């Protein structure tokens, strides 16, 4: 009789635990059904392309933390709604494959190949150079952000997320106020020579931007800012 009573109590306890688990699961499913999306907005530029990639997400709740599931880079990907994908650095991810992908280099303003490991990384990741250009060339304007965008202003201007949020000749630039629109500096064609490994001393700056230099010379960092012949 005692053994029977113990067995009955065990099954009652098990049934209660099962009912509690089912109740919690139903509540969680009901909560997710009510809240369809996380806060934040997806990037407004959506790439149209023929080559599709497997979708790592179908809803915002397939993504970690505050990331959202957005149509971008020829498929749905998890994106940080508070960052511009085309402004991110290349990220190989943390798997073990060797896949050739393309990312947009916002400083040089063109698309470059990189080796992708096959998983994770970020959304600045495209199957082809054409896809990369279509997605990012209009998002990031040519030109260079000034070194000190708003040193004379007492109040911070409205924030921006990418260059498309700014007027025609302005770029979205980092400042002490966060990212704000500032008039872009002209950047001449070509590239600065590579920097030396070490400098015995740093010279006083001879320029701050390319327009400070004569003819086709560029303002380059080489043991101090100075005007140098550009490489093409």
**15 band by pLDDT with thresholds 50, 70 and 90:** low
Please tell me which of 31-35, 95-99, 103-107 the model is most confident about, judged by mean pLDDT.
95-99
Task: Count how many residues are written for the chain.
Answer: 232
Residue 165 to residue 159: CA distance in whole angstroms: 9
* Phi and psi, residue 9, nearest 5°: -65, -40
**29 band by pLDDT with thresholds 50, 70 and 90:** very low
Q: In terms of Cα–Cα distance, which of 70, 90, 71 is closest to 80?
A: 70
Please tell me which of 25-29, 111-115, 139-143, 185-189 the model is most confident about, judged by mean pLDDT.
111-115
Tell me: pLDDT of 5 over 50: no
∠ CA 14-18-23, nearest 5°, is 150
Percent of the chain at pLDDT > 90 equals: 12
Higher pLDDT among residues 2 and 117, named by residue = 117
Assess contact for 136 and 72: CB atoms under 8 A: no
User: In the chain, which residues fall in CATH 4.10.410.10?
Assistant: 60-136
Q: How far is CA 147 from CA 37, 99, 108, 175, 222, in A?
A: 38, 36, 17, 9, 17
pLDDT, residue 14, reads 54
pLDDT, residue 143, reads 78
CB proximity list for 71: less than 8 A, separation 6 or greater: 42, 46, 47
Render pLDDT for 151-201 as a digit per residue (tens, 0 to 9): 555 678 888 888 888 888 888 888 888 888 988 887 788 888 888 888 888
CATH number assigned to the domain with residue range 188-232, chosen from the 4 options 4.10.75.10, 3.40.50.300, 1.10.1040.10, 2.60.40.2470? 4.10.75.10
What does the block give as tokens for 57? 């997400």
pLDDT, residue 74, reads 67
Tell me: pLDDT of 150 over 80: no
Residue 55 to residue 75: CA distance in whole angstroms: 6
Render pLDDT for 103-124 as a digit per residue (tens, 0 to 9): 999 877 889 999 999 988 888 9
Residue 168 to residue 174: CA distance in whole angstroms: 18
* Phi and psi, residue 219, nearest 5°: -85, 110
Number of C-beta neighbours around residue 128 at 10 A? 17
CB proximity list for 225: less than 8 A, separation 6 or greater: 205, 206, 207, 208, 219
CATH of domain 142-185: 4.10.75
Q: How far is CA 45 from CA 56, 72, 77, 121, 162, in A?
A: 19, 8, 14, 20, 11
CATH number assigned to the domain with residue range 60-136, chosen from the 4 options 4.10.410.10, 3.30.70.270, 3.30.70.20, 2.40.50.140? 4.10.410.10
User: In the chain, which residues fall in CATH 4.10.75.10?
Assistant: 188-232
């Amino acid at each position: 009789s005692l053994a029977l009573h113990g067995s009955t109590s065990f099954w009652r306890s098990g049934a209660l635990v099962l009912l509690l688990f089912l109740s919690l699961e139903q509540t969680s499913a009901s909560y997710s059904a009510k809240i369809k999306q996380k806060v934040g907005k997806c990037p407004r530029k959506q790439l149209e392309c023929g080559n599709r990639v497997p979708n790592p997400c179908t809803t915002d709740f397939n993504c970690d933390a505050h990331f959202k599931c957005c149509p971008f880079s020829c498929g749905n990907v998890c994106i940080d709604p508070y960052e511009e994908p085309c402004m991110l650095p290349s990220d190989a991810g943390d798997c073990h494959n060797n896949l050739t992908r393309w990312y947009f280099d916002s400083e040089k303003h063109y698309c470059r190949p990189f080796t992708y490991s096959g998983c994770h990384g970020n959304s600045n990741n495209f199957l082809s150079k054409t896809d990369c250009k279509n997605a990012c060339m209009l998002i990031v304007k040519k030109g260079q952000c000034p070194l000190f965008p708003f040193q004379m202003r007492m109040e911070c201007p409205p924030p921006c997320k990418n260059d498309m949020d700014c007027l025609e000749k302005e770029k979205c630039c980092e400042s002490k106020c966060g990212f704000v629109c500032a008039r872009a500096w002209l950047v001449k064609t070509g590239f600065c020579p590579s920097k030396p490994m070490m400098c015995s001393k740093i010279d006083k700056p001879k320029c701050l931007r390319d327009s400070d230099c004569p003819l086709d010379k560029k303002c380059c960092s080489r043991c101090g800012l100075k005007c140098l012949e550009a490489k093409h």
